[in-house]
Structure 1
């Protein structure tokens, strides 16, 4: 009988547990809310800090080739200045149809500490800082809209989507998942990983060495007699298909996560599984909803912060500030990279290391909700996103 408890097996298991916030799509929920209006809103949290300038590449910036050697070329051109990561090439028909767009150089008000957990908490609370709201911005939106009621249970994993926490009724659903640790133990493991750079690096390296197999059940997990788990590599497809099914019916709002964006090492390889999950998710939503519903749907994909502009010594990027938002659906103004591009010269960067944010990520989200539901600006700035100045309309919806 082979010895399964090898160093590689240990680190692969550790990566499965400790890096779960950045790798496993089974640890965060998808929730739905039903309402009488006819548009649909899908919010996807990209956990782990997606590198916006790798996903939407500013080829036209003269500094880009030096800051990101090896990234130039290979992906489809978007507008003569920006290009798309090659792994998202399958989304070009959406771009060409005006059903895919991006908003560049955005971030939450969170600055400098660059903790995934604090960053995600602020992103989901929709507040200027960590203090204040105990509910989430998407739930607060529901409190301002008519006819909202929960349908059935829809939560992927055993955790909570904080952006849906609050007084408005929502429902959660979970696919069949065989998780070894409790949410509390997972959260503790994630905290330990984040606070120990060496441990974090070991996890990341093990995940890279193992590839997607690090996310699949290990042999002893397959024989625990606790029921067949959902394949981690296919969970995003289960989520997208189920979301589309519910949104074809009474559900109007869906929220879930796609993880795996924490690319400290060998980013050119590490980011690929997450990009594939994102691409497949959007395409499955598109096909599952059908033309008539998709034409009235807006998908917002947001991340807690961006990543450093320059590549680090291990071929990855570290936690940064400005990032990108992904927009999709027939209700969004696609075929365009929105936002005010700040430039990549050292003097243009935030703290001379990060992409400078030129707009609060909450503002485009607020304008999309305004366009979809007609909710007034005062409610968005004072209740949904307290302390937000939405600024001028960026025209991100049709």
Structure 2
């Protein structure tokens, strides 16, 4: 599910008291198109999210997880089965508003979370070689270079670092105030017609920041609704990044993944519903730093792997409803290093191609700006 993070609240006047966001948007872009990037930190298991049940080798490799797929939606000419926790995303696929790209990977080929995330976000060929991120470089390419960027994170993620100014929410490093103190301050402001509503709004924002991974998906839904409110207005953000942790499933994977995916589904549903007609102008990409091993380990989990899954969603998504895969197979001989799903599609090519189509930018031009360290890389899905 979406990770514990703080979010923008309406009571910005109380920022000094509750460490609410300090907003410094990049200049406004003359476009109604919006883009959201959700990163699944921890290496999400794409074989669990969109299972290749049509592969003859799948049953032998993943029999312990097979019953968890019951009720899942068949996709890709029934070769793949979408996890049943992704009910709304499955509906979007039927409505041609969701598209899936399997057996993907960035340029990174080792198994360190931090290094893998850095390569995915920077667009480089190796960890820490690039000092800026591809999302910040995207902002410089939007019409008029007046993009609005926003990170929902305690610090600016690597993907949004660079010369284009963005906003972020950095929660306070100070110890949280006691419940008694908060109650006393609430009582102090209760009769003030100006401060009381600001204070209550600030408290609501702080509650969201406290634990958005729990509450049976309701917190994730609240975050999706909040993201929609930030993206929806004419003066709102146009490029947004949201972080989601908890995907490192070395043990007890089946129940953990069900909860994680339920949160993602709730977030996506609330984002689409909250945007309303603006969902037609929105592209959401969900990606992770790498996949997980094909075989299940002895504790009912999976270990760090390579090939993974990307999900794309939007109200007017080209190719919606399909699964893109140059499927390598799951037989032992087909696996990378005898253990991992072999990647066949570059994550960077998917991102660049999808963004080029979404923002109506020449794919070659955009790829050159987003991924200058990979000059031979060609856009996919454009």
The TM-score bracket by the shorter chain reads 0.7 to 0.9
Residues in 1 aligned to 2:56 and 2:180: alpha-carbon distance in whole angstroms: 55
Q: Aligned-pair distance for 1:370?
A: 0.7
1:184-221 alpha-carbon deviations (Å, 9 max, x no partner): xxxxxxxxxxxxxxxxxxxxxxxxxxxxxxxxxxxx98
1:317-328 maps to which residues of 2 (within 5 A)?
317-328=302-313
CA contact 1:258–1:277 (8 Å) conserved in 2: no
Matching of residue 101 in structure 1 with residue 99 in structure 2: yes
Q: Deviations over 1:107-151 (max 9, x none)?
A: 011112x11111111111011112432110010111122334476
**SS at structure 1 position matched to 2:286:** strand
What's the counterpart of residue 136 of structure 2?
139
SS at match of 1:86: coil
Match of 2:49 in 1: 55
- The alpha carbon displacement at 1:380 in A equals 2.8
In 2: Cα distance, 1:352 partner to 1:224 partner: 57
Counterpart check, 1:71 vs 2:65: yes
Q: Verify the 8 A CA contact 1:258 1:274 in the aligned structure 2.
A: no
5+ residue gaps, structure 2, are 9-20, 183-202
Structure-2 change in CA distance of 1:132 and 1:71 (3 Å): same
1:391 to 372, 378, 382: 378
**1:225–1:158 Cα change, 3 Å:** farther
CA contact (8 A) 1:150 1:169 kept: no
Tell me: CA distance 1:222–1:85, structure 2 relative to 1, closer, same or farther (3 Å).
Answer: farther
Contact preservation (8 Å) 1:144, 1:379: no
Are 2:339 and 1:360 aligned? no
Distance 1:111 1:27 in 2: 32
Gaps of 5+ in 1: 1-21, 182-219
Match of 2:362 in 1: 376
8 Å CA contact 2:50–2:81 kept in 1: the answer is yes
The superposition leaves residues 61-103 of structure 1 with CA deviations (integer Å, 9 ceiling, x where unpaired) of: 1111110013334022223110011211232221110011210
Matched, 1:26 2:13: no
Partner Cα distance (2:108, 2:83) in 1: 26
Distance 1:224 1:256, change over 3 A: farther
Cα distance change, pair 221–345 in 1 and its aligned pair in 2 (3 A): farther
Report if the CA contact (8 A) 2:5-2:153 is conserved: yes
CA apart distance, 1:375: 2.5
Which residue number in structure 2 is paired with residue 82 of structure 1? Answer: 80
User: Are 1:322 and 1:355, in contact at CA under 8 Å, matched by a contact in 2?
Assistant: yes
* Cα 1:229–1:393 shift into 2, 3 Å: closer
Aligned equivalent of 1:341: 327
Contact kept? 1:161, 1:256, Cα under 8 Å: no
Query: TM-score w.r.t. structure 1 length?
Result: 0.76
Alignment partners' CA distance in 1, 2:375 and 2:267:
30
- Matched ranges for 1:106-117 at <5 A: 106-112=104-110, 114-117=111-114
Q: Which residue matches 2:224?
A: 240
* CA RMSD, Structure 1 to Structure 2 (Å): 2.7
Corresponding residue for residue 160 of structure 1: 156
Q: TM-score, normalised by structure 2?
A: 0.79
- Asked if 1:125 is matched to 2:153, the reply is no
Residue-by-residue CA offset, 1:21-71 (whole Å, 9 max, x unaligned): x97331799997641123221111111111001000000011111100133
Q: How does 1:251-266 map to 2 (within 5 A)?
A: 251-266=237-252
Equivalenced residue count is 331
1:279-318 correspondence to structure 2 within 5 Å? 279-290=265-276, 292-318=277-303
Once the 2 structures are TM-superposed, how far is the Cα of residue 260 of structure 1 from its aligned partner? 1.3
| Distance apart, 1:261 and its partner CA | 0.8
The answer to whether the 8 A contact 1:106-1:359 is kept is yes
Distance 2:39 2:167 in 1: 18
The 2-side partners of 1:180 and 1:379 are apart by: 45
